[in-house]
Structure 1
Amino acid sequence: MQAKDWFGDSSVYVVDVPLACCALESQAAAGTANLVDVPAGARIVVALSGTITNAVAPAVRELLAGLPGKPVVVSFGSCACVGGPYWDSYSVAKGAADMGVEVDRFIAGCPPPPEALAAVLEEVRLG
């Protein structure tokens, strides 16, 4: 599995699951972080960003189940939080929690600013 060593000091690793337009903001927040293998026992943050369709939901759940330990799951943007403007589509999950994912932090917005994700990651690092 590949992740970003967010701070470059092995304190927090981010697994970004970019599903739609909010991915641009989460990628902007990531900047030039290096891709590395996650060491055993590392804190992992999973950023779910964009529209989550019912078709991709099982793959997202499988990815989360395959991560070591208990990652911090961040639902980033209106679509990942509540389905966004597509909430009434037959093919769209009404957000990460609706598809059976335990979400630790919700960051609303369409799109939310990259700084909002960076602030959550700093909290995880300190905390």
Structure 2
Amino acid sequence: MTITRSAQHGDQGSVSLLLAVLFAGAVLLAGLIADTGRVLYANADASDLAGKAARAGAQQIAPASLRAGSPTLDPAAADAAARAYLDRHHIDGTITVAGDAVTVIVQTRITYVLLALSGRTGATVTQTRSAVALRGP
């Protein structure tokens, strides 16, 4: 006994169309996951760089203030140390020294790989971190 389908049902190719739509959706979802992961990684990296640069700056105590017994932050040395840290990591940033606090703002641009197909080219990640020079042991 042989079973044959008649051409009257009109469903030839419907599975192929469904698979094509599902595949396109899977590619977009994979792109969303991959590019979102890249943005999250860049966010964490920028935060880490800004924090470490701020700490490097906050460690710059003026030698004369140490000898006088009242340690204070050397603003020029703090700015230079924070900038040198960012330069070693090939990243630009804004450094502000106010009193005993050093604030570093790092901004990086992430270019999308798969989501570029959707028309969006990328994202900008900005992180701000501060460090304060403390007195005492």
TM over 0.5: no
- Could you say which structure has the higher helix fraction? 2
Q: TM-score, normalised by structure 2?
A: 0.21
**Which of the pair has more CA radius of gyration?**
2
Q: TM-score, normalised by structure 1?
A: 0.23
